[in-house]
Amino acid sequence: MLGAPASMTAFAVARDYNPARTLGTASGVVNVAGWLGTVIGTVLFGSALDLQGETDPHTMRLALLVLVASQAFGAWRLVVWYRRVRADSRRRQGAGEPVPVAIGPRKWFDLRELEGPVVTE
C-alpha cells in the first residue's frame, strides 16, 4: 500500500521545507489532506458500488479500482510536488540563499541538474 509511506513523506516535506513558525499549520494541512483523501476515497468507493447495483465479489473488485486510481493519483502528485520543492530549493541554494535542507544532485531526479558531463556506461 502507498498510504503510510506517502503520508510520512508528506510530513517530512512539510517539516523540512517550512519555517519553524508555521510547522504546526503545515502538519495540520498534511493531516487534513490525508483525512480528506480517505473520505473522498470512501465516498467514491460507495458511489461505484451504487452505480453497479448489486454487491457481489466482482462488483467489489471493480469498485476497488476507484481506490487504486485515487492512490495512483496521490502518488503522482506527491512526486510532482516533491520535484517542485526540490527544484526550488536547488535554485535558492545556487543563488546563495539559506535552505532548510542542503540538496545535492541525484541522477534519478533530473539529468539537467547534474553538475559536469553526464557519464553513461
Predicted local confidence at residue 37, as pLDDT: 85
Q: Give CA–CA dist 63/68, Å, rounded.
A: 9
Q: How much is the pLDDT for 87?
A: 82
Q: Is 118 a domain residue?
A: no
Whether the pLDDT of residue 60 is over 80: the answer is: yes
Q: Which three cell numbers stand for residue 70?
A: 485515487
The total number of structural domains that make up the chain: 1
> Is the pLDDT score of 119 beyond 60?
no
Q: Which long-range contacts (CB under 8 A, 24 or more apart) does 72-80 make?
A: 74/2, 74/6, 74/37, 75/2, 75/6, 78/6, 78/9, 78/10
Judge whether 69 lies within some domain: yes
| Residue 40, C-alpha cell as written in the block | 473522498
Residue-wise pLDDT for 6-56, tens only, equals: 678 788 878 877 888 998 999 999 899 889 988 998 999 999 999 988 888
- Domain span at residue 97 reads 3-113
Of 72, 110, 64, 65, the C-alpha closest to 91 is 110
Whether residue 107 has pLDDT greater than 80 = no
pLDDT at residue 109 greater than cutoff 90: no
